[in-house]
Amino acid sequence: MSKSKDNNGKGSTRHIGAVDTTPARRDAKTPKHLLKIKTHATAKERETAVLVSVPPRRQTDAQTTEYLDELAFLIETAGAEATKRFVQKLEKPDIRTYVGEGKLEELKAYVQHENSSMVVFDDDLSPSQLRNLEAELKVKIVDRSLLILDIFALRAKSATSRTQVELAQYQYLLPRLTGLWTHLDKQRGGVGMKGPGETEIETDRRIVRDRIAFLKEKLEDLDKQAVTQRKTRTNTIRVALVGYTNVGKSTIMNLLGKAEVFAENKLFATVDATTRKVVLDNHVPFLLSDTVGFIRKLPTKLIESFKSTLDEIREADLLIHVVDISHPAFEEHIEVVNETLREIGASDKPMLLVFNKIDQYQADPDPAPNFADDDPEQEFPTDFDEPAPRPPLEQLQASYMARLHDPVVFISAAQRENIDALRELLGRKVAELYQVRYPYSNQQYGQYDAVAE
């Protein structure tokens, strides 16, 4: 986790403007107290985090546990350790401190006793909630968006992705400037001055707005370069890997494209889009792109900032939707990805559904539902709050094959299981698309005509 200090020496992560090596515009000179924030620097000592969730009453305990597990995984990816979880079901979060007074006192006592480094919330907090919680708990307060932005800042490598992340950080920072620093007092007017001058908070806001405008201009230039590069990809089918984060997209990319994309069992291991030329057995070449993974409650500003990277998805001819079949909530992950694709205008594209990690899938020994023994007239299961039983893998495969018009593939990229079936199906899809998109192309491929039939 990135860590900064204000003038009193207290930790604060709400002021998270990243430092860019590109010179800022002349009228947007970043002040020293903003330059001190280095998003890409990590703490030397491993920080400890307390997780807090305020789910709606209708949310099941199993869902709450799964969401907190994901939050703990995000914390681990950021370099900290989750030590305790607090859950409070409310109709709606408290407008002042997000949690109720009793839960706040319980949280405060634990943080002080265990000397925790930070408190992390599984939802976005308003600027006033951030200030109130930090004043009450006296530790660093992190919400979900800030945590994801911090991970993206650690993972971003290319000039485009670093600029995109910094833009999202400043957009997150702008409404949260109030009360961040003790130096934000009015500048005194003097002899010859027309007035008391603008407050320091107004100065900071103007500087941040100028920086946002500069970063947007820079992204426009980088986007133009990317568009020019994509225009050179004529008479070539473009395929993009999409899916929830940490489902194995980069591993599949390395298998199919013989690439060396960084792959790790952590969330958002890949932030930069990578494109490689792939030639399968039917000799129909295509371009395969590995894209950033999606996640529930993905910050809106981050989606907007990653427009140029997401253009790889928008302009693709075929999407490979990779799903982690071993995850208990894989169907919810499918819906999150489909919803994100709808948001970016890419939901109508041809899609190949690939279920990965079959080597880690575990079926329930007794998939039959439980009925109440003391009620012979009971017609429905009584354990509505429990997760649905997991059927055998063969049953899942038959179910999805029957439900979808297009075939699906069940593989293990790590163990290289059923990879040949993926190659064969993908090659056939690419060949069919090539015949439709470029029917008058002069290029000929060995088995193209046979496959297209």
Assign 3-class secondary structure to 220-270. HHHHHHHHHHHHCCCCCEEEEEEEECCCCHHHHHHHHHCCCCCCCCCCCCC
Q: Which of 49-63, 225-239, 245-259, 364-378 has the highest mean pLDDT?
A: 49-63
Residue 452 banded pLDDT, cuts 50, 70, 90: very low
The pLDDT value given to residue 55: 92
Percent of the chain beyond pLDDT 70? 68
The pLDDT value given to residue 448: 43
* Residue type present at position 93: P
The answer for residues whose C-beta is within 8 angstroms of residue 139's C-beta and 6 or more apart is 11, 111, 116, 117, 118, 119
CA 340 remoteness from chain centre:
11
| Short-list 240, 386, 248, 425, CA closest to 326 | 248
The pLDDT value given to residue 318: 93
**Is the pLDDT reported for residue 369 higher than 80?**
no
The pLDDT value given to residue 96: 94
| Short-list 265, 275, 271, CA closest to 240 | 275
Q: Poorest-confidence range of 39-43, 83-87, 115-119, 326-330?
A: 39-43
**CB-based burial of residue 158 (10 Å sphere; 0-12 exposed, 13-18 middle, 19+ buried)?**
middle
Q: Within 13 A of 364's CA, how many CA atoms are on the CB side?
A: 11
What is the model's pTM? 0.72
**Is the pLDDT reported for residue 196 higher than 60?**
no
The pLDDT value given to residue 447: 46
Please list, residue by residue across 121-134, b when 16 or more beta carbons sit within 10 angstroms of its beta carbon and e when fewer do: bbbbbeeebbbbbb
Please state whether beta strands 140-142 and 81-87 pair in parallel, antiparallel, or not at all (unpaired): unpaired
Residue 31 banded pLDDT, cuts 50, 70, 90: low
Residue 294 banded pLDDT, cuts 50, 70, 90: confident
**Is the pLDDT reported for residue 110 higher than 80?**
yes
Please state whether beta strands 274-279 and 140-142 pair in parallel, antiparallel, or not at all (unpaired): unpaired
Instruction: Show the beta-strand stretches assigned E in 89-245.
Output: 118-121, 140-142, 237-243
pLDDT digits (tens, 9 = 90+) for 203-224: 788 888 899 899 888 888 887 7
What is the residue whose two structure tokens read 């509505």?
384
In sign, the C-alpha dihedral spanning 248, 251, 256, 261 is: positive
Task: Supply 65's token pair.
Answer: 């546990």
The pLDDT value given to residue 8: 46
**Is the pLDDT reported for residue 279 higher than 60?**
yes
Q: Using alpha carbons, list the distances in angstroms from residue 438 to 238, 288, 317, 320, 350.
A: 13, 18, 12, 21, 16
| Short-list 49, 54, 121, CA closest to 83 | 49
Q: Average pLDDT of the chain? A: 76
**Is the pLDDT reported for residue 37 higher than 60?**
no
**Is the pLDDT reported for residue 236 higher than 80?**
yes
The angle, 0 to 180 degrees and rounded to 10, between the axes of the packed helices 127-137 and 101-114 is 50
pLDDT digits (tens, 9 = 90+) for 112-134: 999 999 999 999 999 899 989 99
The pLDDT value given to residue 12: 43
- Partners of 323 in beta bridges: 355
The answer for residues whose C-beta is within 8 angstroms of residue 398's C-beta and 6 or more apart is none
Higher pLDDT, 296 or 120: 120
Cα–Cα distance between 122 and 86 in angstroms, integer?
11
The pLDDT value given to residue 450: 35
Cα angle at 245 between 242 and 251, to 5 degrees? 70
- The number of beta carbons lying within 10 Å of the beta carbon of residue 268 is 21
Average pLDDT over residues 171-181: 70
